Chain A
Amino acid sequence: MSDSEILAHLAAVIEDLGGAPAGEISREKSLRDDLDIDSLSMVEVVVSIEDKYGVELPDDAMTGLQTVGDLVDFIENSVAPTPA
C-alpha cells in the first residue's frame, strides 16, 4: 500500500463527505481548515479506512492529526508498522 493509494482513497472519501473536491486534496492540506473535516466527519473517514484495510485505529491516537499527510502517515504506521 503506497502513499498515493491511501491519498486516493482519502480524496474519494473526503469528496463524498462534502469536504472538498478530490482534486484539491494533497498532503499539506489541513483537514479542518482546508477540507472542512470536523470531528464527526473524521470518524467517518476513520471508519472507511478501517473497513478498507481491516485495521482498528485507536480513538486517542487521532487527536493530534492536523493534515492529510499526518493522516496518511498514521494509516501507514497503523496498517504496516515500520520494522524496528
Chain B
Amino acid sequence: MNPQSARRRVVITGRGAITPIGLNVADFWASLMAGRSGVGPITSFDASGLPVRIAGEVKGFDPTDWMERKVSRRIDRFAHYAIASTLQALEESKLEIDDELAPRVGVLVGSGFGATLILHHSAINMVEKGFRGLTPWITAGAAIDSAAGEVALRVNAQGPSGAVSTACASGTDAVGMGMRMIMYGNADVVLAGGSDNSVTSVDVGSAAMSRALSKRNDDPERASRPFDTDRDGFVVAAGAGMVVLEELDHALSRGAPILAEVIGYGASTDAYHPTAPHPTGRGARQAMQAALTDAGVRPEDIDYINAHGTSTVLNDRTESQAIRTLFGEHALRIPISSTKSMTGHMIGAAGVVELMATVNAMLDGRVPPTINCDNPEDTELNYVPHKPQEHRVDVAMSNSFGFAGHNAVAVVRRWQG
C-alpha cells in the first residue's frame, strides 16, 4: 500500500514573515525578486570593536504594533517576531480559532539561540545590581519555548506546543514536525516556523570568533555570496517566519486559501563535528533522500531547490556535492538558489522563510536569484545568479543544514485544487 494514502494530507494556508528585506511576505518576496540585500552596518549595538560589523538587521519593527506593552516588555525580541509573523499568517489563512477548534491547534516555534537579548541584559544587570536587578519575568521570558508559549497564549491555541531547537535547521524541523502532528491526528492546525534575533553583540562576536562570518565590512551588500568562489563566510541576520499548516479537509471545508501542500520531510545528523558539515555531504544527502522518500517522489520530479547556501566554503561545497550525488544528471536541470544572499542567515527562521520563498516560486512561476554569485563554485549547476528565472515549479525542496550537524529538508507540491 502506498503510505501516502494512509496518512492525512497537510497544506499551507497562511504565511507571515519578519525579515531584513521586508516585514511581511509580500515585501520580502518583492525584495527577493529585485535582488535587494538586507545586509548593512550593524546599528542596534556598538559593533566598532568587533571584527565583523555587518549583519542583516530587522529594520522598522515596533513590537507594540502587534501586542500590548505588558506582553512586549516581558518577552525577548525573538518572541516579538514570532508573534507578529503568526498574526500575519493567521490573517492570510482567514482562520478563526474558536473554542471548538482551540484544542486542535498546535504551536511549534523553532529557534537556534532563543532569548539571547534577555539573557545578555540579565547577566549585565546581575553583575551591576545583584539578583535584585533581575525581574520575575526572566524565568519564563528567557526560555527557548517562550515564543511558542506566548503565541499559544495570544491566539488561544490549546493543542501540543513547544520549541524546536536544531540550530539553522530549526524552522524546517518545526514545519516537518508540525506536518507529522497533523498527519497522525494530534492536531488539525499547527502554527509552525522559527524565529531568531541573533544580531546581538554576544552572538555576532562569538560567531566572528568561530571564523564563520564574512568580514566584508566595507561592502555589506556583497558580503553574503553563496556558491561564489570569492565567499568568506556567512552573514548573521534576524527574523522570523510562521506558517499555518492545516489538514487538507479542514482547509477545504472552510474554503481556506491553499498555497501549497507539504508532502515530505526528512532529517538527519552528521555526527561529525560541532560546526563543520561532513566533508562528503553524507548527512545532507541522507536528509534530502529521506524527504523525497517521505514525499513519494523521485529525484527527477524536483523542479527547484532552495538551498541552505550559507556562503561558507564548507557548506556551499558539500551542499553542491550532495545535490550532485543525489540528483545525478538531473542536478544540472534544477535551478538552485540561496535567498541568504539577500536576507543573510536568519538561523532558526531561515528554513521556514526559505520554504515560503519556495512556495512563492511555485505560485509566481519565478525562482528567486542568488545574488553576488559571480564565479560559481560549480560551473555546471544553475545557481540562478543575480536575477530571478522563470520556471514552472510543481515540486520543490527546501534545505536547511545546521551547526551540530542537524539537517532538515522539506518538500512541497503545487496545489492544483
- Kindly state the separation between the CA atoms of A39 and B255 in the bound complex, as whole angstroms: 43
CB of A40 within 8 A of CB of B73, answer no
Check B70 for interface membership: any CB of A closer than 8 A: yes
CB of A47 within 8 A of CB of B132, answer yes
CB of B73 within 8 A of CB of A18, answer yes
CB within 8 Å of B: which A21-50 residues: 36, 40-41, 43-44, 47
- Kindly state the separation between the CA atoms of A17 and B68 in the bound complex, as whole angstroms: 10
CB of A40 within 8 A of CB of B137, answer yes
Contacts of B72 in A (CB 8 A): 18
Contacts of B135 in A (CB 8 A): 43-44
Contact of A43 among B69, B70, B71, B136 (CB under 8 A): B136
A interface footprint on B40-77 (CB within 8 Å = 1, 0 otherwise): 00000000000000000000000000001111110000
- Kindly state the separation between the CA atoms of A71 and B137 in the bound complex, as whole angstroms: 21
Check A69 for interface membership: any CB of B closer than 8 A: no
Known: A18-B69, A18-B73, A40-B137. 16 other contacts (CB 8 A): A17-B70, A17-B73, A18-B68, A18-B70, A18-B71, A18-B72, A19-B70, A36-B70, A40-B136, A41-B70, A43-B135, A43-B136, A44-B135, A44-B136, A47-B132, A51-B132
Counting contact residues on chain B (CB < 8 A from A), the size range is 10 to 19
Contacts of A40 in B (CB 8 A): 136-137
- Kindly state the separation between the CA atoms of A36 and B69 in the bound complex, as whole angstroms: 12
CB-CB nearest in chain A for B137 = A40
Contacts of A44 in B (CB 8 A): 135-136
Contacts of B71 in A (CB 8 A): 18
- Kindly state the separation between the CA atoms of A40 and B70 in the bound complex, as whole angstroms: 12
CB-CB nearest in chain B for A20 = B70
- Kindly state the separation between the CA atoms of A83 and B73 in the bound complex, as whole angstroms: 41
14 sample A-B contacts, Cβ–Cβ < 8 Å, listed by A number: A17-B73, A18-B69, A18-B70, A18-B71, A18-B72, A19-B70, A40-B136, A40-B137, A41-B70, A43-B135, A43-B136, A44-B135, A47-B132, A51-B132
How far in angstroms is the closest Cβ of chain A from B213?
Answer: 36
CB within 8 Å of A: which B124-172 residues: 132, 135-137
Contacts of B136 in A (CB 8 A): 40, 43-44
CB-CB nearest in chain B for A37 = B70
Contacts of A19 in B (CB 8 A): 70
A interface footprint on B71-89 (CB within 8 Å = 1, 0 otherwise): 1110000000000000000
Contacts of A47 in B (CB 8 A): 132
- Kindly state the separation between the CA atoms of A47 and B136 in the bound complex, as whole angstroms: 10
Contacts of A43 in B (CB 8 A): 135-136
- Kindly state the separation between the CA atoms of A36 and B68 in the bound complex, as whole angstroms: 12
How far in angstroms is the closest Cβ of chain A from B76?
Answer: 16
Contacts of B132 in A (CB 8 A): 47, 51
CB-CB nearest in chain B for A40 = B136
Contacts of A18 in B (CB 8 A): 68-73
CB-CB nearest in chain B for A43 = B136
- Kindly state the separation between the CA atoms of A45 and B346 in the bound complex, as whole angstroms: 36
- Kindly state the separation between the CA atoms of A17 and B72 in the bound complex, as whole angstroms: 10
Return the 4 tightest CB-CB contacts between A and B, nearest first: A18-B70, A18-B69, A40-B136, A43-B136
- Kindly state the separation between the CA atoms of A40 and B73 in the bound complex, as whole angstroms: 13
- Kindly state the separation between the CA atoms of A41 and B71 in the bound complex, as whole angstroms: 11
- Kindly state the separation between the CA atoms of A51 and B129 in the bound complex, as whole angstroms: 11
- Kindly state the separation between the CA atoms of A22 and B325 in the bound complex, as whole angstroms: 65
CB-CB nearest in chain A for B134 = A47
- Kindly state the separation between the CA atoms of A19 and B73 in the bound complex, as whole angstroms: 11
Contacts of B70 in A (CB 8 A): 17-19, 36, 41
